[in-house]
């Protein structure tokens, strides 16, 4: 799944993170913004939730024979575009009613209609929007992100900013654990 990176603002603002970490100066704002993004990515990886609503692209080749495509990023908000590639590799836009959102047994998926499956000899791309609405990120996840930002800021001289978070505190892991998607 490709992250199209067209999301809104982070769940934890720069000012909130600086206040939590008790940072009053402005010369490291870019670093702190990067740490906030890293903390969000770590929280998303741990929970399976998309915390900032944004676009994603699913690229499938081959198309599953039953047309059932599980969406690994939740919550799924909408299907925005479906493009099928024929035997010659030419793209064809598919009407959105040929792709239906299915929510069953805690799984979010897209069911592709038979005409889509038959016309997609060289695969299909499905553009979707997924993520929580602004202001709907649970307080426990926001608190975990603050803990990760604070720990990462303290380790900024030890761990390169591009490799952050260098440490996810146990308290943050415990806060995130209650939001983790578990499948049987």
Q: Kindly report the average pLDDT of the chain as a whole number.
A: 91
| 18 in a structural domain | yes
What band does 155 get if pLDDT is binned at 50, 70 and 90? confident
Q: Which of 68, 71, 41, 42 is nearest to 56 (CA)?
A: 71
| 106 in a structural domain | yes
Domain boundary among 94, 113, 130: 130
Report d(CA 73, CA 76) in Å as an integer.
7
| 182 in a structural domain | no
Instruction: Tell me how many domains the chain contains.
Output: 2
| 6 in a structural domain | no
Q: Domain check: are 141 and 167 in the same one?
A: yes
In terms of residues, how long is the chain? 184
Q: Domain check: are 125 and 141 in the same one?
A: no
Residue 167: what pLDDT?
79
Q: Domain check: are 61 and 120 in the same one?
A: yes
Residue 176: what pLDDT?
96
Q: Domain check: are 95 and 117 in the same one?
A: yes
Q: Which of 123, 143, 6, 20 is nearest to 69 (CA)?
A: 123
* Whether residue 56 has pLDDT greater than 90: yes
pTM: 0.86
Say if CB 46 and CB 180 are below 8 A apart.
Answer: yes
121/165: higher pLDDT: 121
Token pair of 81 as six digits: 């575009």
| 184 in a structural domain | no
Residue with tokens 């740490």, as numbered in its chain: 35
Structural domain containing residue 43: 11-51+136-177
Domain boundary among 130, 150, 167: 130
Report d(CA 154, CA 63) in Å as an integer.
46
Question: How many CB atoms are closer than 10 A to CB 169?
Answer: 15
Q: Domain check: are 30 and 63 in the same one?
A: no
| 123 in a structural domain | yes
Q: Average pLDDT, stretch 127-142?
A: 95
| 39 in a structural domain | yes
| 4 in a structural domain | no
Q: Domain check: are 124 and 88 in the same one?
A: yes
Token pair of 124 as six digits: 């299909």
Residue 97: what pLDDT?
95
Residue 183: what pLDDT?
67
What band does 5 get if pLDDT is binned at 50, 70 and 90? confident
H/E run at residue 95: none
**SS3 assignment, position 37:** helix
Q: Domain check: are 125 and 67 in the same one?
A: yes
Task: Specify burial of residue 9 (Cβ count, 10 A radius: 0-12, 13-18, 19+).
Answer: exposed
């Amino acid at each position: 799944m490709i992250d199209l990176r067209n999301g809104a603002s982070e769940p934890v603002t720069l000012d909130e993170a600086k206040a939590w970490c008790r940072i009053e100066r402005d010369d490291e704002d870019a670093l702190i913004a990067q740490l906030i993004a890293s903390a969000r990515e770590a929280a998303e990886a741990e929970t399976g939730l998309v915390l900032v609503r944004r676009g994603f692209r699913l690229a499938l080749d081959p198309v599953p024979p039953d047309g059932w495509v599980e969406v690994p990023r939740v919550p799924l908000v909408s299907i925005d575009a479906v493009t099928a590639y024929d035997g010659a590799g030419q793209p064809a836009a598919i009407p959105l009613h040929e792709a239906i959102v299915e929510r069953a047994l805690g799984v979010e998926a897209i069911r592709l209609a038979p005409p889509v499956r038959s016309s997609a000899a060289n695969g299909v791309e499905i553009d979707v929007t997924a993520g929580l609405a602004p202001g709907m990120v649970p307080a426990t996840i926001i608190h975990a992100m603050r803990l990760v930002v604070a720990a990462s800021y303290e380790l900024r001289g030890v761990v390169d900013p591009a490799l952050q978070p260098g440490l996810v505190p146990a308290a943050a892991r415990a806060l995130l654990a209650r939001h983790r998607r578990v499948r049987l």
